[in-house]
């Protein structure tokens, strides 16, 4: 959505019209970048809001487990993407069948 606004005293502009759409609230931080002669604003937290899920305890646990598996050599390699997808589909089907038998 494009919005034209007049710059106010002390170089202020209002983001109220789009703040709700981008989940921006008073007190949040924004990254301001100059790009190609324009200004790009992106909501950020101490980590980028688009990657905030990655810093939850659940995902950090998954990352730690992945690192441990790599260090132990507990992983598979595939010759092609199709082979990897086929393996994932087989795992999903096995899991679904197991759930249905419970």
- pLDDT tens for each residue of 28-40: 888 899 999 999 9
Judgement on whether residues 13 and 42 belong to the same structural domain of the protein: yes
Average pLDDT taken over every residue of the chain: 89
Q: Are 51 and 43 in contact (CB under 8 A)?
A: no
Domain count, the chain: 2
At residue 102, the pLDDT reads: 58
Q: Is residue 1 part of a domain?
A: no
Same domain, 37 and 20: yes
Residues 77 and 45 in one domain: no
Global model pTM greater than 0.75: no
CA trace torsion 48, 49, 51, 57 (10° rounding): 110
Range of the domain at 71: 56-100
Q: At 60, list the tokens.
A: 């950090």
Exposure class string for 72-82: b at 16+ Cβ within 10 A, else e = eeeeeeeeeee
- Radius of gyration, alpha carbons of the chain: 23
CATH number of residue 28's parent domain: 2.10.260
């Amino acid at each position: 959505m494009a919005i034209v606004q007049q710059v106010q005293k002390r170089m202020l502009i209002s983001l109220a019209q789009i703040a709700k759409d981008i989940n921006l609230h008073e007190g949040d931080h924004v990254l301001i970048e100059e790009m190609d002669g324009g200004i790009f604003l992106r909501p950020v937290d101490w980590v980028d809001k688009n990657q905030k899920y990655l810093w939850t305890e659940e995902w950090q646990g998954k990352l730690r487990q992945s690192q441990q598996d790599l260090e132990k050599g507990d992983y598979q390699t595939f010759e092609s993407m199709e082979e990897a997808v086929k393996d994932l589909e087989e795992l999903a089907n096995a899991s679904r069948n197991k759930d249905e038998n419970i």
